[in-house]
Homo-oligomer: A and B are copies of this chain.
Amino acid sequence: MVNGVRRVRDDDEGSAGRLLALSDGVFAIAMTLLALDIQLPDGLDPTEFGRALGHVMPKVWAYVLSLLVIAACWRGHFQIFRYVREVDGTVIRLGLLSLGLVALMPFPTTLLAEYGDQPESVAVYSGAVAAMVATELALTVVLWKRPWLGRAPVPDAIARNDVADLGSTVLVFAVAVPLAFVSPTGAKLWWTVLIPVKALTGRRGKRLRADAEQFGS
């Protein structure tokens, strides 16, 4: 079998199971990381208790925001690896890099939640999202070009749509990094450019996948 030989020659690693187990572990920790901060000191009297409860609310908000970001990353990761069966050295390296970025995400998210009016917060957050989505983009391209790693090749139309989707996200967030130093609010408004782009690629992706499943594979 040509594919089998080719895979083995290119690289000597394989079996996606462990990389996904490691990934789900890192995602689980990243999701719960900010919940560790949501705590009251003990031994407070009723007045202090009320005040302390009020101070906890921004942390709950940072937790919710971080959860949404990590959950979105996990969904992206889930989609990318859904039909992958084998991993080679390049995929492992990109996968580990993306995990390192996932574990880091709670920090820029907290910056944004607590210091959202500071240019540095918006720049750090935009840069972190851009880096994270860029590794997802790289993984998508690598897996598309190496069909022997998956159960079935990704149809070109679907892969191109995914690349457009992820590529535009990287572009928007990368541009937001310098923009944040001009105007933090401007950079946040600039993010909303993605809403129509995502709506378009999302709808096209859904249709393409439905078609692919109906005729073939």
Chain A contact residues, CB within 8 Å of chain B: 5, 8-9, 12-15, 18-22, 24-33, 35-40, 42, 44, 46, 49-50, 53, 56, 58-60, 63-64, 67, 71, 74-75, 78-79, 81-82, 92, 96, 99-100, 103-104, 106-107, 110-111, 114-115, 118, 120, 205-206, 209-210, 213-214
Contact A25 B18 (CB under 8 A): no
Q: Bound state CA distance, A33 and B38, in angstroms?
A: 11
Interface SS majority for chain A: helix
Contact A35 B118 (CB under 8 A): no
Contact B210 A8 (CB under 8 A): yes
Name the residue on B nearest A38 (C-beta): B107
- What are 21 A-B residue pairs whose CB atoms fall within 8 Å in the complex? A8-B214, A9-B210, A9-B214, A13-B82, A22-B28, A22-B31, A22-B74, A24-B25, A29-B29, A30-B35, A31-B99, A31-B100, A32-B33, A32-B103, A39-B110, A40-B110, A40-B115, A64-B100, A67-B100, A71-B96, A78-B92
Least CB distance from A47 to B in Å reads: 11
- What 3 pairs across the A-B complex have the smallest Cβ distances? A25-B28, A8-B213, A12-B209
A-B contacts besides A12-B79, A22-B28, A25-B25, 19 pairs, CB < 8 Å: A5-B214, A8-B209, A12-B205, A13-B82, A18-B24, A18-B78, A19-B78, A24-B25, A26-B32, A33-B35, A33-B36, A35-B104, A35-B106, A40-B114, A42-B114, A49-B115, A56-B107, A67-B100, A78-B92
